[in-house]
Every structure is written in C-alpha cells, then in structure tokens.
C-alpha cells in the first residue's frame, strides 16, 4: 500500500526534513539498498554516516540527527525510536491480507462447536465437538481442532496446525504451519522390564499474544496444565515437554528443548539449540546462550553458557585457562623431548 512521504510523516507524528513530500513510498528496504520508492531507518547515531550515500525516499532517524545529513532527495523523519516507527510503517505498507469471513464447504465443523463472527475457516479444517472459537479468527487449510478446544478472539492458525483436545488459546495467538499442541507428554515408568505409560490427562493453556513458530511441539501435561505465558514468542522447531511452566514475554529461539516440569521465568531468553533439563528453574530475565545445556537452576538475570551450563564469566575464564594450558602443553612436550639428552649429561657428570 503506497503512501506519500508527507502522509508517512503525519502517520509517525513527526515532520519530514528535506526530500520531496509528494514522493510515493511503495516498499521498505535496509539502508544500503533502499531506493527512491522505499523507506528505511537508522536506529543508532553511530550509523548516520550511511546517510550520505542514501538513495531512499525517506529514512527514520534519531531525533537529534542534523537536517543536512542526507542528500537533498532523501527526507529525514526524526523520531524517538526509529526502529519502532519503521515497524509501524511496515504494518502500513504491508497490511496482512484478511480473507472474507467464510466457512468452506470442504471443512467439517461439529454441530456442537461454536464459531465466532468474522472467523474464516478454510478447506479441510476439522473442528471437533464442543470446540469454541472466538471472533475474527483465521483457521487455515488442513488444521485440526480437537474436542473441547477453546480459541480466543483474533487468533491465526496457519496451515496444518493441530490442537489436541482441551487445548486453550488466549486472544491474538499466532501459530505457524505444522505445529502440534497438546500431544501426549513423554511419561513412562519402568516395571518388570517394560515401559508403562503414565496417562497424560492434563492439557495445554496458552496466554494471549503468544506467537509459536513452525513445526513446534508443546506437550499436554500429565496432570494439570502445561502453560505458556502472555506475550511469549517461540521460533521454529521448539519442543516444550509436559507440565512446563513458561512465564510472560519469554523469547525462545530455534530448536530449543525444555524438559518436563521445568519453570521459565518472565522475560527470559533462550538462544538457539539450548536445552534445559527437567525439573529446573530458570529465573526471570535470565539469558541462556546458544547450545548451552542447563542441568541446574539459573538465578534471575544470570547468563549461562556451555555444557554443563555455567555462569558466562566462569565459562569464559575456564575457556581462557584451557587455551593457556594448551600453550603450556607445547612447552611440556619440548621439555619431554630434551629429557633424554639432559639425563645423559647428568650421567656423564656423575
């Protein structure tokens, strides 16, 4: 959706400095590639030097940016937070297409299910008995919504999402393709040489404004509920085991794995491919680095790395010590090589 530089400035609550206010912006790009039909941003004053070669129609910049920092053809849009202003602009330029609120004849909706007004149901969707779906939702092709599932308002389920029975979603939840929520947790007891399954009779409860990446799996609780807090965001291919309790506004990057009954505090960040063992607590605002293996509790605001994961400062100290030891090893090898000659000298001296 094209917008003029003047309209964009008004939309962003600022005034354009320089450039052509009538120039039409059709798309967005990064600062190095944006051309005369595009908008971009510079989030920090340390990158303002890039403005001198800018060809963009408009650039969101920090408020204290000098008006003459860019060529005359480029309008500067000074704002408090250029990145957030740019994000708002992206929503304006690239509005999410909203299909008409229709129910495909190729979908199955149980007669006891409730579907809110304005909800779109695409072909080959299956909605089970007593399911309740809120207003303004979009259920894409191939989704399965089991019995007694509850979905809040304005949720989006991309193709082939599976919600097992009794799963609960809050409002404005986004779930990407191929994700499975509510499958049985991995619970077995070894008796008489056999693995006896512990029935997984709980469910999954997901708070509002959660976004879950593609091919992610969140297991139902053995008893009670596996819970995902409000505003939490998960990347692709994350696995959450049964009875995990994840706080509000947590970030979880790709291929993170969380063991059963673990607790993750609010605003924690778990980087790619890290793993957290079962029955562990990760404190609020903690940071777990990529590929770390957490086997014990993590204090709030702590930073962990390595395997087994330790405090980042301790881990870096150990790494430096290992490098130093490797250097000393060369000296030891050289000394060992000289020992026979030294022994011969000592024998001659005797």
- Beta-carbon contacts of 110 under 8 Å, excluding residues fewer than 6 positions away, are 127, 128, 129, 130, 131
- What is the C-alpha separation between 249 and 199, in angstroms, rounded? 31
- What is the C-alpha separation between 233 and 174, in angstroms, rounded? 10
Q: Is 126 a catalytic residue?
A: no
Report residue 151: phi and psi, to 5°.
Answer: -125, 130
Helix (H) or strand (E) holding 93: helix 82-93
Task: Give how far Cα 276 sits from Cα of 55, 240, 292, 308, Å.
Answer: 47, 10, 8, 10
Q: Are 34 and 55 in contact (CB under 8 A)?
A: yes
Which residue among the candidates 126, 242, 249, 279 is catalytic per the annotation? Answer: 242
Q: Are 21 and 77 in contact (CB under 8 A)?
A: no
Burial 264-278 (b: 16+ CB within 10 A, else e): bbbbbbbbebbbbbe
Task: Write the Ramachandran bin of 270: left for phi over 0, alpha for psi from -120 to 50, otherwise beta.
Answer: beta
Which are the catalytic amino acids? Answer: 242
């Amino acid at each position: 959706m094209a917008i003029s530089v003047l309209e964009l400035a008004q939309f962003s609550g600022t005034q354009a400095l320089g450039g052509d206010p009538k120039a039409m912006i059709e798309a967005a790009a990064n600062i190095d590639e944006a051309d005369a039909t595009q908008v971009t941003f510079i989030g920090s004053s340390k990158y303002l030097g890039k403005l001198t070669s800018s060809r963009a129609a408009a650039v969101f910049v920090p408020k204290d940016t000098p008006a003459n920092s860019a060529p005359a053809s480029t309008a500067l849009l000074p704002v408090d937070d250029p990145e957030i202003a740019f994000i708002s602009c992206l929503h304006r330029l690239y509005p999410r297409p909203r299909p008409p609120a229709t129910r495909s004849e190729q979908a199955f909706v149980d007669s006891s299910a409730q579907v809110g007004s304005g909800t779109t149901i695409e072909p080959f969707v299956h909605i089970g008995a007593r399911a309740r779906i809120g207003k303004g939702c979009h259920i894409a092709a191939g989704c399965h919504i089991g019995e007694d599932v509850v979905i809040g308002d304005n949720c989006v389920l991309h193709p082939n999402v599976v919600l097992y029975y009794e799963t609960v979603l809050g409002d404005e939840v986004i779930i990407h393709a191929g994700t499975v929520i509510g499958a049985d947790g991995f619970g077995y007891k070894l008796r008489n040489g056999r693995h006896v399954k512990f029935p997984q009779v709980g469910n999954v409860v997901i708070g509002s404004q959660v976004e879950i990446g593609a091919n992610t799996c969140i297991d139902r609780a053995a008893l009670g509920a596996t819970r995902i807090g409000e505003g939490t965001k998960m990347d692709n291919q994350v696995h959450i085991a049964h009875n995990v309790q994840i706080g509000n506004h947590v970030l979880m990057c790709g291929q993170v794995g969380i063991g059963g009954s673990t607790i993750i505090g609010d605003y924690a960040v778990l980087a790619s491919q890290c793993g957290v063992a079962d029955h562990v607590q990760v404190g609020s605002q903690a940071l777990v680095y990529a590929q770390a293996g957490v086997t014990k509790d993590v204090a709030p605001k702590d930073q962990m790395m390595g395997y087994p994961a330790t405090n980042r400062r301790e881990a870096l100290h150990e790494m430096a010590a290992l490098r130093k030891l490797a250097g000393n090893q060369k000296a030891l090898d050289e000394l060992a090589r000289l020992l026979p000659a030294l022994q011969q000298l000592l024998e001659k001296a005797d």
